[in-house]
Amino acid sequence: KLATEQFREKLGEGGFGSVFEGQLGDERIAVKRLDHAGHGEKEFLAEVHTIGSIHHINLVRLVGFCAEKSRRLLVYEYMAKGSLDRWIYCRHDSNAPPLDWRTRCKIIANVAKGLSYLHEECTKRIVHLDIKPQNILLDENFNAKISDFGLCKLIDRDTSEVVTRMRGTPGYLAPEWLTSQITEKADVYSFGVVVMEIISGRKNLDTSQPEESIHLITLLEEKVKSDQLADLVDKQSDDMEVNKQEVIRMMRMAMWCLQIDCKKRPKMSEVVKVLEGTINTESNIDYKFVATTPVNFGVAGDACSSAPPLASDVSGPR
């Protein structure tokens, strides 16, 4: 209460609680207060357990936590520019200029490095399961860090998959949620969606668009087949137009991440190498990114979900 002046300055709210600005000694902090006693207990412990034991420049740093009776608080480093969604959507009602291409590239690379660390460099593989712009925070210099580990799942390195109940956010969910066999490649698909949103300056699922354009990833399928990818580039930014060829190369990397068959998607360390220019994007890409029916994704095991999600919950409308 002291640090936040009685929770005075609200920065935002998510599914599990509200976030307030505060000051702890010399450091500005963000305090997440979890709502509802007894609600989100698992998520709270998952977040503390996960983020408390990992450290990476592209993951939001957990300063500390409090769990006293029903009061549960998480204290993070403060991220001055807030979440990415504020900077890539709704340009028309914002005074801030659209992000230039270099800044967008930096954000994409930062997120890729953070995910590569979670998937490949921790003792256990950590699958985030809720990668979306609202969970990507930006510091004063637009360096991006991944936050919100409430849904994450730890996978032992010697197991090939984790079977879990459906979690995450409609519009960012990989097609394999239809079969309920999930690996870290689900994050790769969500990352592909986020890259497309950053490039086009809009949400994947945007009901304010004409009916044929509501779903960005379906639109991507159509535009790549008709060789009109440039149509999807954010029109609010002249800088994006200037760098159109680079932008289209980035889209092709996103498409590799959006492959319906999770085995055909790259590892995040390969994405980082593509972004650094040391390897090329896979050229043999299937231009279908939206599953319309539950399919066998070729993952070992015969796990099935008791109530399979609707296809529209996964990547969007058909």
User: Does any domain span residue 3?
Assistant: no
Q: Which residues lie closer than 8 Å to 154 by C-beta, 6 or more apart?
A: 50, 124, 125, 126, 127
Burial (CB count <10 Å: 0-12, 13-18, 19+), residue 120: middle
Residue 130 is a catalytic residue:
yes
Q: What is the arithmetic mean of pLDDT over 7-30? A: 90
- 128-186 tens-digit pLDDT: 999 999 999 999 999 999 998 877 887 777 777 776 677 788 899 999 988 777 899 99
User: Does any domain span residue 1?
Assistant: no
Q: Domain boundary residue among 53, 77, 101?
A: 77
For residues 223 and 290, membership in a common domain is answered with yes
Average pLDDT of the residues of the chain: 86
Distances (CA, A) of 109 to 83, 226, 242: 16, 28, 20
How far is residue 175's CA from residue 313's CA, in Å, rounded to a whole number?
Answer: 10
Q: Domain boundary residue among 26, 56, 77?
A: 77
- 237-287 tens-digit pLDDT: 999 999 999 999 999 999 999 999 999 999 999 999 999 999 999 999 999
**pLDDT band for position 311 (cuts 50, 70, 90):** very low
For residues 103 and 59, membership in a common domain is answered with no
- 94-130 tens-digit pLDDT: 677 899 999 999 999 999 999 999 999 998 889 999 9
Q: What is the pLDDT of residue 307?
A: 39
Burial 62-94 (b: 16+ CB within 10 A, else e): beebeeeeeebbbbbbbbebebbbebbbebeee
Number of Cβ atoms within 10 Å of the Cβ of 255? 23
**Residue 314 clears pLDDT 50, i.e. is over it:** yes
Q: Is the dihedral of CA 159, 128, 229, 222 positive or negative?
A: positive
User: Does any domain span residue 143?
Assistant: yes
How far is residue 217's CA from residue 170's CA, in Å, rounded to a whole number?
Answer: 13
Strand order across the beta sheet in which 17-24 lies: 10-13, 17-24, 27-34, 71-77, 62-68
Q: Is the dihedral of CA 128, 253, 193, 308 positive or negative?
A: negative
* pTM, entire model: 0.88
Q: For residue 18, what is the domain's CATH number?
A: 3.30.200.20
Q: Domain boundary residue among 18, 48, 77?
A: 77
How far is residue 116's CA from residue 272's CA, in Å, rounded to a whole number?
Answer: 8
For residues 127 and 48, membership in a common domain is answered with no
User: Does any domain span residue 4?
Assistant: no
CB 125 within 8 A of CB 54: no
Catalytic residue, chosen from 35, 93, 100, 130, is 130
CB 56 within 8 A of CB 109: no
What range does the domain containing 22 cover?
A: 10-77
Q: What is the arithmetic mean of pLDDT over 226-239? A: 95
How far is residue 233's CA from residue 105's CA, in Å, rounded to a whole number?
Answer: 14
Q: Tokens 């095991």: give the residue.
A: 301
Q: What is the pLDDT of residue 37?
A: 53
**Residue 303 clears pLDDT 90, i.e. is over it:** no
How many domains does the chain contain in total? Answer: 2
Burial (CB count <10 Å: 0-12, 13-18, 19+), residue 251: buried
